[in-house]
A and B are shown apart, each in its own frame.
Chain A
Amino acid sequence: MVAILEKRQFKDFDWLTALIAVAIVSFGVWQIYNAQPTDTYWSKQILGLFIALVAMVVVALSDYRRIVDAAPFFYALGIILLILVLIPGLGVKINGQRAWLAVPMIGRFQPSEFVKIPVVLMLAKYFGNRKPGPLRFREMIVGGLILALPLGLILLEPDAGQAITYFPLLAVVLFLSAVRIRYVILALVAAMIFIPTAYVIGVNTGAIKNYQRERIEAILDPENADPRGFGYHTHQSMITVGKGGLTGIKGNQDISQSVLKFLPEPHTDFIFAVTAENTGFLGCISLLLAYALLISRLVAGAREAPDRVGMLVIMSIAGGITFQIFINVGMVLGFLPVIGVPLPLMSAGLSAVLSTFIAIGFVISVKMRRFVN
């Protein structure tokens, strides 16, 4: 592999983006340690980081165009995985969600994390090669169908949180594929009407489960939420963030909300709360700035992409990451409902780190080939 790294390729390799990603993961490892010092999640995360780096380099050095050409194959593979996970004997059920596949040697992995990549590739392949001109209605339908199939399977797990993170993938692609602005505005207005309506209908028909409704209401009306019942997660998360203050408790385990087990899921969904408690406002702002820098690098890469396919791949991934950060941190900060979405690069878990690094591998691959044709 090193042999094929020519000098120019080496120079064009996007070191800065890779470095930011590695830095965030390393920072995350420290927070995972703070969250549960006696557990092995943090050491597993280091191992995960190395696996992810290898995967990233492999993807980065591959020609993304060939991979995109094979998108239907990866897409089909992804769908098969999502079907397999639903089979009771194969899929592992945790907290009522059958979202994990047990693999010998590696352990559990979550197909819904990985399937984002084939979906992005599939969308990029379809919309990257379309004819010029404003987006046609038929194209939107096809885009919607590409998304709908895996989405439906994920909702069967059921993992509504993970499903939500798929929407920005399509939204970004459509936005960048010359969708008319009036459609965008129409979609926003429709969303503003449709979402509350759907919520009310969902509550009345029972499609929205009680625990989901309670979690949403805990956000809409935090003062009346039961801090010991469904409001517990949000309540404890806000306490944990707030007590961090300006500089945080710097790893003092005696008073750590996560060590004392007040904060639930501290190493995964609520890792940002642990960060806030331990590093305070300064640490959190630094992390958000690092994310901002990473997103800037991705957008800059997209601008320099040699073709539409590459540009769409990068932007779709960037959109997904941004959205996931917002949903996750919004939940931790108590203004979005509690849904199980990990914080990209920070939360413990091989699946999430691996898929994010593969995505970054694509970005690097696209950037490396900006002069090649």
Chain B
Amino acid sequence: MKVQDYAQNLPIRLGTIQVLAFVFLAVLGIRLYHLQINRGEDYRVRAENQRIRMIPIPAPRGAIFDRNGKLLVDSRSTYNVTLTHEAGERINPMDRVDEYAKGLSVEREFLVERINLLKTRPDYETLVLKENATLQDITWVETRTLEFPELRIELQPQRFYPHGLMLAHVLGYVGEISPAQLEKQEYGHLKPGDIIGKGGLEQFYDKFLRGTPGYRKVIVDSRGRVQSEIDYVPPQSGQDLYTTIDLDLQIAAEEQLAISASKRGAIIAMDPRDGGVLAMASAPSFDPNIFVQGSATKEGRKQIAAYWQDETRPLYNRAIQGRYHPGSTWKIPESVAALRQGVVTVQDSNLACGGGITIGNKFTRCMGNHGAPPLKYAITKSCDGYYYRLALKMGIDGLVQMVETFEYDKRTGIDLPNEKISRTPKYYREIVEKRSRGRWPDIETVFASIGQVTVDVTPIAMLRAVTSVGIGGKLMVPHFMKEFKSIGAIGKPGEPNYVPAKEAFEYEAPEIPVVSMTEEQNKLVLDGMYGVVHAGGTATRISMGGEFEIAGKTGTAQVTVLGKDVGELKDHAWFIGFAPAYAPEIAVVAIIENVGFGGTHAAPAVKGIFEAYVKKNRVAASETAVGVGDGDSPDTPEPSAPGATPNPGTNVQQPPEIDPDRPSANIATGNTNRRRDGDRPGENRRR
């Protein structure tokens, strides 16, 4: 040491500094050992988790076809502009909302609403900012990856309903899963933003239609930009659904509703041999495409809100959710029940009409005076007086038994969600008896006998019950599904991402309940229904001749008090029928709201469907016959266009004949405002 040691112990102090420096370095070394050797694996996993992302590839939903392979629903490829998760951690998307709105031509308020959603779902992967991105949008995003790395373009198969308003209630629509649905077990494996079926077949068969999403496993940088792809698993499409719907009959049904006076109502056509629904129309209707595409635009959301607020309730499927008084159509299951219960017999079925009945001091009239008709004649002429007495003989217990026999107290089991259960005297009994000091008043039996007051049924339940008469008492379960097609596997068995193939499967009919009755009993009721169209009954106008005989029953359901039921609140018109009468191939129910008499308004609508059916299945067949040599085809002069012009004409020209009935009905039920007669047997006579 050259420096004089006049400082205190300079070498020691130098040494101290050196040791201190080594201690510092040693501390660093120990810490390093802890991080890299002790916890290295933990940090390696953490690093991997933050750089590897699974980008889901949505699976195209299965398409839906009619029974002849005509397309009903399809998916189209569209592109979405999405906001990615990583970016949201580093930037506040709200700061850029103005630029997004301008660049993507989306309304600012919509984006603000979307981005606010993030607060409620912190674990989101991507958030759709714009659906159906245009080429300009895609270019705008792609050229701004540096400026807005948080935006991404994602392929999204979008549901497309080529027929628009037609079949909307049956098909339903699709949309993002709601938070409430995410809680449910059936959707347990889905995540926010996933698309599911909402309503109709889309919802009922969602599991099969949905498919299995694939994914891309990618490395991302800290801002979520994809750097490279490690793995790719393609999505497995949903299975294609072939339905029992016949698009031509559906078109006919929609047309019949469109030309009806009120343009409100429902028509269902079913194959009575297997329960397959051929057509189901409910009017007014809605465009499912608006729900799929429109939720992103102001106009679309306005339209959706308008649908919800519309007093005519276009979103609700009248065919399975509407409850109406059935009017005289109720007399068909009632007749069967009365025969089964032995109230009347095939040999002795006569009951007095009497032009009406007096209960207490109230006189409830029949539309005519039918003497003491047998059951068959009572059905054909829709004699109310007969049924007042029949129902009084059955009693409330007999009516309840009838409800149970025809399963009006259950859902029909149709493969659509949200089917409503009919309400009948069985349902109302407790309420009525409570109100009437513990007993069911006879007057309620009288009203119920002709399908009023305590009888509210769905068209589908009514069709099912009435049709059973044509097929030996079988209560068919109506259904749309015919077959799901198979779809191939993804990957090979044993691979980690293997998704097994989905097998094709056909509709499996459940056990069909049968309303047991003797052949004579069955024939008696059936003959009555045949008479409605072919033996001077209430719907003789719709006869299509001997080639395609129709059995059916009209019904006119009172909507409001008599004498005030002008305009909007006219009666609901019903007709339920099947043909050929003694070997039915097609059964149809039509209910037209607030138009008047069933025979005048609903029966022609049903005829329109039958004509479409004949044109398709019989004319084609007879033309083949012509080819064989039967030159004198009786079908040739049949009306050409099914369900087209002839019927509106008949409807429109009817009003004058309604008027004569009204005063008499008014007088007859003057002191009983609560009901009115079902049908107008007279109207055909006058014609």
Contact = CB atoms under 8 A, between A and B. Distances in A.
Interface of A: 132-134, 172, 175-178, 180-181, 228, 238-246, 254-255, 257, 259-262, 276, 280-281, 284-285, 288, 291-292, 295-296, 299, 302-308, 311, 315, 318-319, 322-323, 325-326, 329-330, 333-335, 370
Interface of chain B, main secondary structure: helix
Interface in B5-39: 6-8, 10-11, 13-14, 16-18, 20-22, 24-25, 27-29, 31-33, 35-37, 39
Contact of A175 (B17, B28, B29): B17
A267 B11 CA distance: 38
B59 to A, nearest CB: 29
Given A255-B47, A260-B219, A244 B7 contact: no
A245 B32 contact: no
B221 A288 contact: no
Nearest to B23: A326
Given A175-B13, A295-B18, A295-B21, A333 B47 contact: no
Nearest to A240: B47
Given A133-B6, A254-B219, A257-B47, A335 B24 contact: no
Q: Which of A238, A243, A311, A333 counts the most chain B CB atoms within 10 A?
A: A243
Contact of A241 (B1, B29, B36, B227): B36
A326 B24 contact: yes
B32 A322 contact: no
Interface string B626-664: 000000000000000000000000000000000000000
Contacts of A322: 20-21, 24-25
Contacts of B222: 260-262
A303 B13 CA distance: 11
Interface of B: 1-4, 6-8, 10-11, 13-14, 16-18, 20-22, 24-25, 27-29, 31-33, 35-37, 39-44, 46-48, 50-51, 89-90, 219-223, 227-228
Contacts of B27: 326, 330
A83 to B, nearest CB: 33
Contacts of A175: 13, 16-17
A262 B50 CA distance: 9
Given A178-B8, A307-B2, A325-B25, A262 B221 contact: yes
Contact of A303 (B14, B20, B43, B46): B14
Contacts of B28: 288, 325-326, 329-330, 333
A241 B51 contact: no
Contacts of B21: 292, 295, 299, 318-319, 322
A319 B20 CA distance: 10
A277 B228 CA distance: 20
B199 to A, nearest CB: 40
A279 to B, nearest CB: 10
23 contacts: A176-B7, A176-B13, A228-B89, A238-B35, A238-B43, A240-B43, A241-B32, A242-B39, A242-B40, A242-B44, A245-B36, A245-B40, A245-B41, A245-B44, A246-B40, A255-B48, A261-B223, A281-B36, A284-B32, A299-B18, A304-B2, A308-B3, A333-B35
Contact of B37 (A178, A281, A325, A330): A281
B24 A242 contact: no
Contacts of B221: 259-262
A325 B24 CA distance: 9
A262 B10 CA distance: 47
Given A242-B43, A244-B40, A280-B36, A335 B31 contact: yes
A31 to B, nearest CB: 15
Given A228-B89, A284-B32, A333-B28, 14 more contacts: A132-B6, A238-B43, A240-B43, A242-B44, A245-B36, A246-B36, A257-B47, A261-B222, A281-B33, A285-B32, A288-B29, A303-B1, A315-B14, A319-B17
A323 B17 CA distance: 11
A306 B220 CA distance: 59
Contact of B25 (A281, A288, A302): A288
Contact of B8 (A134, A238, A241): A134
A242 B29 contact: no
Contacts of B24: 322-323, 325-326
Nearest to B88: A228
A315 B11 CA distance: 12
Which 9 pairs from chain A and chain B are nearest by CB?
Answer: A242-B43, A132-B6, A245-B40, A178-B7, A243-B44, A261-B222, A260-B221, A322-B21, A281-B36
Contact of B35 (A242, A292, A311, A325): A242
Nearest to A168: B17
A252 B28 CA distance: 25
B42 A370 contact: no
B3 A307 contact: yes
Contact of A276 (B36, B90, B227): B36
Contact of A254 (B31, B39, B41, B228): B228
A280 B35 CA distance: 10
Given A242-B35, A280-B36, A176 B14 contact: yes
Q: Chain A interface secondary structure, helix, strand, loop or mixed? A: helix
A239 B1 CA distance: 47
Contacts of B228: 254
A289 to B, nearest CB: 8
Contacts of B20: 322
Given A257-B47, A307-B3, A284 B17 contact: no
A177 B228 CA distance: 60
A296 to B, nearest CB: 7
Given A255-B219, A299-B17, A333-B35, A243 B40 contact: yes
Given A228-B89, A260-B221, A291-B25, A244 B36 contact: yes
A370 B18 contact: no
Contacts of B29: 284-285, 288
B35 A370 contact: no
A284 B36 contact: yes
Given A260-B227, A308-B3, A322-B21, A333 B43 contact: no
Contacts of A284: 29, 32, 36
Contacts of A319: 17, 21
B312 to A, nearest CB: 52
A285 B31 CA distance: 11
B22 A292 contact: yes
Contacts of A254: 219, 227-228
Contacts of B40: 242-246
Contacts of B22: 292, 295
B249 to A, nearest CB: 60
A191 to B, nearest CB: 15
Contacts of B33: 281
Contact of B10 (A176, A242, A329, A333): A176
B358 to A, nearest CB: 84
Nearest to B22: A292
A262 B222 CA distance: 5
Nearest to A314: B14
A228 B50 CA distance: 12
Given A276-B32, A288-B28, A241 B43 contact: yes
B32 A281 contact: yes
A238 to B, nearest CB: 6
Nearest to A312: B3
B6 A178 contact: yes
Contacts of B16: 175
B11 A303 contact: yes
B316 to A, nearest CB: 47
Contacts of A315: 14, 17
Nearest to A235: B46
A178 B7 CA distance: 5
B216 to A, nearest CB: 16
B118 to A, nearest CB: 14
B101 to A, nearest CB: 26
A86 B1 CA distance: 44
A285 B37 CA distance: 12
A318 B13 CA distance: 14
A305 B3 contact: yes
